[in-house]
Amino acid sequence: MRVTLCTDGVFPHAMGGMQRHSRLLAEHLAKCGDVELTVLHPHPVGLFDRSLGIREVHVPDIDRSKFYLRELWRFSDRVGQELERSSPDVILSQGFCVWKGIDRFRDRLIVHPHGLEMFQMLTRKERMLGWPFRTAMRYILRHARACISLGGMLTTILRTQVKGSRCEVVVLPNATEVPSRTPFDHDKPRSTENGQPISLLFVGRFAFNKGIDILMEVAERLIKEGKGELVRFGLAGDGPLLAHYQAQGLPANVELLGRVDDDRLVQLYRACDAFLLPTRFEGMPTVVLEAMAHAKPIIVSDVGATAELVTPHNGYLLPPGNAAALYSAILAFAERPVEVRAKMGRYSYDRVLERFSWPVVAQGYLALFRRMIDR
């Protein structure tokens, strides 16, 4: 079957969760052997290993100095022209890539909107700024044959947007690469009984929606209550709030690690006792999946599709923006015996291997493609 993946960027030439998803999904679909895959992207061709047999087509990129949404519309026009020429059996569009003239492709079009950030804005200003994007995405979804939900609360959002249209909501989760080595055989949890602090890792953009202010509030409370030596927080990433926290000073139990490359990130996952993400809204965070693949317990907000990943067996799901709940979860985790924390990590690893590894998720995409063609 001839499948075309349309994306506005491919990692590492473009950074972001959707761009990383585009690369890994393409590579794993190509390895399945059942797909004649074309990838439309805005980079010079030659991104993928030639042995995979992926056909690449360059589509001129947007002009980032101009109005972003209008440029996405123009980019979709160029994508549509290429789709007309190649006429694939199935089209998988990331985000806004197939938009202008969408009715030409609607019977074979699958749209993946990813985290649906524009439908989860927190402030009135954000909601106003997000209105054009919500309107555009709603139009795209209602003119597609199927759309992909990562699961959880995102499925409810999507079903609301496509109600009354022909678009089918299909749940296919995000995925990650699973290390070939078994992490729990090598990375042993620390014991607090000999005075070693628990190491909690945060990885993400330094922005309000990631809940870094909640994390800082909890870190300061631990110090004030004489528990500052119980937990150490390591924060990796950058973003608009990084300079703010660097300038104002940090609690003594917090370390800023800056932006890290993939090799350093693997080291951080292996070294921490648990992964922490007090985010206010999310899709299905790749960083949580990566931490689980390294056999780590998870402390995360119950938003987006995080409930698909975390259960009481491998971590804590918390109400977003709730510092008291985060504080209680951290103390509860620190008090758990080493053996219990090791079992939580193993459950994370097994869960990813069974449901959220790329070979498993790629098969879900293939099944969806076959169903589209059969129709």
Determine the pLDDT at residue 174: 96
Q: Is 36 helix (H, G, I), strand (E, B) or coil?
A: strand
Q: Are 361 and 172 in contact (CB under 8 A)?
A: yes
Q: Are 91 and 108 in contact (CB under 8 A)?
A: yes
| Segments of 173-258 assigned E as strands | 198-203, 231-236, 254-258
* Rounded-to-integer distance, Cα 284 and Cα 244, Å: 27
Nearest to 290 by CA among 200, 174, 199: 174
Q: Are 47 and 30 in contact (CB under 8 A)?
A: no
- Joined together, the tokens standing for residue 55 give 């056909």
Determine the pLDDT at residue 180: 76
Q: Are 115 and 148 in contact (CB under 8 A)?
A: no
pTM for the predicted model, two decimal places: 0.90
Show pLDDT as tens, one digit a residue, over the chain (375 residues).
Answer: 999 999 999 999 887 889 999 999 999 999 988 899 999 999 999 999 999 999 999 999 999 999 999 999 999 999 999 999 999 999 999 999 999 999 999 999 999 999 999 999 888 888 898 999 999 999 999 999 999 999 999 999 999 999 999 999 999 999 999 987 666 555 555 555 556 899 999 999 898 999 999 999 999 999 999 998 999 999 999 888 888 888 888 899 999 999 899 899 999 999 999 999 999 999 999 999 999 999 999 999 999 999 999 999 999 999 999 999 999 999 999 999 999 999 999 999 999 999 999 999 999 999 999 999 987
Which residues have CB under 8 Å from 104's CB, separation 6+?
Answer: 80, 83, 84
Determine the pLDDT at residue 243: 86
| Domains present along the chain, CATH in parentheses | 2-175+357-374 (3.40.50.2000), 183-355 (3.40.50.2000)
Report how far Cα 1 is from the mean position of its chain's Cα atoms. 28
- Joined together, the tokens standing for residue 123 give 């402030």
Q: Are 18 and 7 in contact (CB under 8 A)?
A: yes
Determine the pLDDT at residue 148: 98
Determine the pLDDT at residue 188: 59
